[in-house]
Amino acid sequence: MYGEGWEEKTEILNFVYELIKTSGHPLHYSILMEEVAKRFFGEEEDLVRAKARFYTWLNLDPRFTCLGQGRWGLRSWSPEKGGRRVPLLSLMHKTVEYDDGAPRLSGREQLEEDYFPAHEVLRDKGGHLEQGELEGEDY
């Protein structure tokens, strides 16, 4: 029903699961392979093929996770991968610039500010100009 070698595969992977679980920490692939070879693979078996088969089984079994540098641990030890929320702008390769400073003046507004400073044009009289307050202007 499950194909040839299914029972052997299940027995080996269950053994490896218990081996890692009992150790309480990740184990290097070479240590796992050494233990599996001692227990399950006879001398007449081609060890190269057995190693390749075992590595494939280990990769496909969802109980195990490769932690890098040849170390294997139990997936239950790893934090679950959650969905990451990515701002839409970062997906568009754009950034948002925030400016907490004073508002910038356009070119024309800056020219007007340079030639007609507000403190000279308006005197604080409730925001109203009276006749004669603007120098050089005739009414």
Q: For the segment 107-129, what is each residue's pLDDT rounded down to a tens digit?
A: 666 656 555 555 555 544 455 55
Q: For the segment 18-55, what is each residue's pLDDT rounded down to a tens digit?
A: 999 999 999 999 999 999 988 887 776 678 888 888 89
Q: What was the pLDDT predicted at 46?
A: 74
Residue 85 CB coordination number (10 Å): 6
Asked whether 54 and 33 are in contact (CB, 8 A), the reply is: yes
Q: Is the dihedral of CA 112, 117, 120, 122 positive or negative?
A: positive
Which two structure tokens, joined as six digits, stand for 39? 């227990």
The superfamily (CATH) of domain 6-77 is: RNA polymerase, subunit delta, N-terminal domain (1.10.10.1250)
Q: How many CA atoms lie within 13 A of 33 on its CB side?
A: 16
